[in-house]
């Protein structure tokens, strides 16, 4: 089956889909994106993803290329045309195409790209055994709350993790606080059983999975605290885990080579993973 992409208002073969060489996303990383999960052919947590897309666009003063209702139709159509049962939808909006000049162009029209692909469920081995993370300096800019396509520091960080034999890199700011992972939010469970993650300020992306897990924790009577933690605290934690749309919720069992807890996925982490997966199934069914 040949894949179909939505580019600048048209459905085109994925193989030949293209934007102009003077697209500002290509030249300046002047754009934003979203990644949504598809479960049983339905979008998961669409409201929150579209709300965050709107916010990212607003912060960069890019006029939305489509009204929300029209965008929702495109998302459904791209899922349908690609016959995605379980998979991912990628949305990218750039400020448009214009002769290269840093300041906003007078007349550029935002360029919307939407793609979809099938994927197998998250590797059960990762959930079973947990993953290792390394810690590295957070070299990113000061507006990590915007889901911008400028991901150079994230790319370098993820590659550093791969080369160290780890799954993810946790980013540490100048004051020693863990902000988040290169493409995931970072969490620990303290000795007292409180679940801790960095507050949703400008230092992190407020993950849609993060928000769902906070809802789950509060509904489950657990203690959820939004505050930063250090690498030292994380290494002493009872449990640790990471979250994102593509990874769902994965146990972290090693940080810089040091075992967390007894080196196996924690009990609360396992429970939260199951509750999150149930949330995904429920959210998709409600579409």
Which stretches of the chain bind ligand PMP, using CB under 6 A?
Answer: 35, 180, 183-185, 205, 207-210, 243-245
Rounded to a whole number of angstroms, the minimum distance from the CB of residue 66 to ligand PMP is 21
Task: Give the Cα separation of 198 and 156 in Å (integer).
Answer: 22
**277: nearest Cα among 223, 212, 219:** 212
CA pair distance 284, 189, nearest whole angstrom: 28
Residue with Cβ nearer ligand PMP (13 or 121): 121
For ligand PMP, the closer CB: 110 or 205: 205
Q: Is 147 a catalytic site residue?
A: yes
Minimal distance in Å, beta carbon 107 to ligand PMP? Answer: 31
Q: Which is nearer to ligand PMP, 182 or 222 (CB)?
A: 182
Of the residues 109, 147, 158, 235, which is catalytic? 147
- Of 94 and 197, the one with the shorter C-beta distance to ligand PMP is 197
Q: Are 273 and 217 in contact (CB under 8 A)?
A: no
- The tokens of 165 are what? 């034999």
What single string gives the DSSP state of each residue in the chain? ---EEEETTEEEEGGG----TTBHHHHH--EEEEEEEEETTEESSHHHHHHHHHHHHHHHTPPPSS-HHHHHHHHHHHHHHTT-SSEEEEEEEES-B-SS-SSPPSS---EEEEEEEE-PPP-HHHHHH-EEEEEEE----S-TTS-BS--HHHHHHHHHHHHTT-SEEEEE-TTSEEEEESSSEEEEE-TT--EEE--SSTTS---HHHHHHHHHHHHTT--EEE--EEHHHHHH-SEEEEEETTTEEEEEEEETTEEPTTSS--HHHHHHHHHHHHHHHHHHHT-
Distance of closest approach, residue 35 Cβ to ligand PMP, in angstroms: 6
Closer residue to ligand PMP, CB minimum distance, 88 or 264: 88
In the complex, least distance from residue 158 CB atom to ligand PMP, rounded to whole angstroms: 10
Closest CA to 160 of 69, 256, 66, 229: 256
Shortest Cβ 192–ligand PMP spacing (Å):
26
In the complex, the smallest distance separating the C-beta of residue 106 from ligand PMP, rounded to whole angstroms, is 32
C-beta of 97 vs 185, nearer to ligand PMP: 185
Active site residues: 147
């Amino acid at each position: 089956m040949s894949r179909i992409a939505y580019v600048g208002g048209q459905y085109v073969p994925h193989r030949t889909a293209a934007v102009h060489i003077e697209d500002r996303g290509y030249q300046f990383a002047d754009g934003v994106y979203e990644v949504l999960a598809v479960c049983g052919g339905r979008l998961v947590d669409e409201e929150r993803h579209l709300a965050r897309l709107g916010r990212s666009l607003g912060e960069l003063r890019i006029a939305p290329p489509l009204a929300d209702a029209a965008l929702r139709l495109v998302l459904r159509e791209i899922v349908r045309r690609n016959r995605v049962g379980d998979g991912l939808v990628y949305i990218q909006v750039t400020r448009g195409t214009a002769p290269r000049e840093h300041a906003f162009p007078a007349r550029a029209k935002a360029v919307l790209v939407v793609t979809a692909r099938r994927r197998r469920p998250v590797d059960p081995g990762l959930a079973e055994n947990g993953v290792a993370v390394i810690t590295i300096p957070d070299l990113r800019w000061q507006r990590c709350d915007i889901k911008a396509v400028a991901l150079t520091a994230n790319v370098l960080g993820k590659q550093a993790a791969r080369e160290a034999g780890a799954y993810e890199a946790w980013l540490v700011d100048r004051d020693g606080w863990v902000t988040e992972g290169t493409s995931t939010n970072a969490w620990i469970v303290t000795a007292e059983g409180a679940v801790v993650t960095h507050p949703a300020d400008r230092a992190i992306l407020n993950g849609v999975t993060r928000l769902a897990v906070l809802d789950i924790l509060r509904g489950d009577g657990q203690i959820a605290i939004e505050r930063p933690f250090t690498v030292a605290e994380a290494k002493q934690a009872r449990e640790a885990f990471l979250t994102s749309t593509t990874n769902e919720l994965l146990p972290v069992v090693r940080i810089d080579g040091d075992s967390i807890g007894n080196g196996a996925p924690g009990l609360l982490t396992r429970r939260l993973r199951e509750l999150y997966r149930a949330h995904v199934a429920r959210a998709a069914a409600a579409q």
